[in-house]
A and B are shown apart, each in its own frame.
Chain A
């Protein structure tokens, strides 16, 4: 997927307004090959985002393959809960995955709502 500069900027703005301002730690928009398209964080992040993106794509791919084995098109929720940090995955396009890392101060329900809003806006740009 080839995006132009304006599209990159538009996507960054949406993710910043919908998710970073909500208080999430980090947002990665990646493709299913594991490439990072956009990454934003709250300014304090020190994670290895390249490895995270590669693993996220692999993880999502593996879970999708499992879904098909059990007769599902895809699972509607892919989310890993940690002690202090959690990760949420959302497929927002055929080739694009939104990975959100958030702490205890953000509720999953509200996050999912914001991800849905961000997804709708991003799809209009693509």
Chain B
């Protein structure tokens, strides 16, 4: 849950990038870090394996401005996507305010997207949170692979697989080229902060 500090007039908001392994969660954050370097006071902290796979999480703090008199500090996290790290993902999800689900558009990864989304739903439930109520944006990543002749799923198929019931905002993207990475981030920030506005009003 977002931490409101009435003394410093500051809110810390946790946004987690979730999704299957090798889907592009870390690449999203790396792109954002390079684009907004001047606005990011800290570092992009990564805890990863020798093979460059996220082991624990990536973390990046970013100030996004003032809303309702409060300085909003976004805390971006990614989770390790590999199936075996479910317990770790649960730890990182603690206190989450908003989620970006980074789905892999590759046809080969269709099943892994579904497994990961179910994993997200289950892990949120352990904190009494519902995937249907939490601010959520779905990113259909790796759209660029279609131009390289690698079979990718149409957006309609991905929507049908992942978004039929959720009806979350969905954005096609390419994290490696940066296409729609910032748009995804902005949408996620917007709906997450909107969900907190009532609490900010009470705090005034």
B42 and A48 contact, CB distance less than 8 A: yes
In the complex, residue of chain A having the shortest beta-carbon distance to the beta carbon of B13: A35
The reply to whether A34 and B45 contact each other, CB–CB distance below 8 Å, is: no
Tell whether B66 is near chain A: CB-to-CB under 8 Å.
no
Determine whether the beta carbon of B75 is less than 8 Å from that of A50. Answer: yes
> Could you tell me which B residues sit within 8 Å of A by CB distance?
1-7, 12, 14, 41-43, 45, 47, 56-57, 59, 61, 75, 77, 87-88, 91-92, 94-96, 199, 203
Contact A34–B42 (Cβ < 8 Å): no
- A48-B43, A54-B75 are contacts. A34–B6 as well, Cβ < 8 Å? no
Question: Could you tell me how many residues of chain A have their Cβ less than 8 Å away from some Cβ of chain B?
Answer: 24
B7 touches A34 (CB 8 A): no
A5 interfacial by beta-carbon distance below 8 Å: yes
With both beta carbons as reference points, the residue of chain B lying nearest to A8 in the complex is identified as: B7
Residues in chain B near residue A5, CB distance under 8 A: 6-7
**From A4, which residue of chain B is reached at the shortest CB distance?**
B6
Contact: A58 with B75, CB < 8 Å? no
A8 CB to closest chain B CB, in angstroms?
A: 4
29 residue pairs A–B, Cβ–Cβ below 8 Å? A1-B1, A2-B199, A3-B6, A4-B6, A8-B5, A8-B6, A9-B7, A33-B94, A33-B95, A34-B14, A34-B77, A34-B95, A35-B3, A35-B12, A35-B75, A35-B95, A36-B3, A37-B3, A37-B5, A48-B43, A50-B41, A51-B59, A54-B75, A55-B47, A55-B59, A58-B57, A61-B91, A62-B56, A62-B88
- Nearest A residue (CB) for B87: A65
Kindly identify which residue among A31, A48, A50, A58 contacts B3, using a CB–CB cutoff of 8 Å.
A31
> Chain A's nearest CB lies how many Å from the CB of B198?
12
Chain B residues with CB under 8 Å of A34's CB are 14, 59, 75, 77, 95
B164 CB to nearest chain A CB (Å):
30
A17 → B minimal CB distance (Å): 18
Interface flag for A32 (CB, 8 Å): yes
From 21 to 58 in chain A, residues with beta carbon under 8 angstroms from any chain B beta carbon are 31-37, 48, 50-51, 54-55, 57-58
In the complex, chain A residues whose CB is within 8 Å of the CB of B57 = 54, 58
| Contact call A31/B91, Cβ cutoff below 8 A | no
**Complex-state Cα separation, A62 to B42, whole angstroms:** 23
Task: State in angstroms the CA–CA spacing of A35 and B5 once bound together.
Answer: 11
> Which residues of chain A come closer than 8 Å to B41, judged between CB atoms?
50
CA distance A51 to B41 in the complex (A): 11
Q: Are A33 and B14 in contact (CB under 8 A)?
A: yes
Asked whether, in the complex, the Cβ of B94 is within 8 Å of the Cβ of A32, the reply is yes
- Expressed in whole angstroms, the Cα–Cα distance for A58 and B79 within the complex equals 11
Q: A45-89 interface mask toward B, CB cutoff 8 Å, 1 = contact, 0 = none? A: 000101100110110011001000000000000000000000000
Do A36 and B4 touch across chains, with their CB atoms under 8 A apart?
no
Given contacts A35-B75, A50-B75, A51-B59, contact A58 B5 (CB under 8 A): no
Interface contacts beyond A1-B3, A33-B94, A35-B95: sample of 19 additional A-B pairs, CB < 8 Å, sorted by A: A1-B1, A2-B4, A2-B203, A8-B5, A33-B3, A34-B59, A34-B75, A35-B12, A36-B3, A37-B3, A48-B45, A50-B75, A51-B59, A51-B61, A54-B75, A55-B45, A55-B47, A58-B56, A58-B92
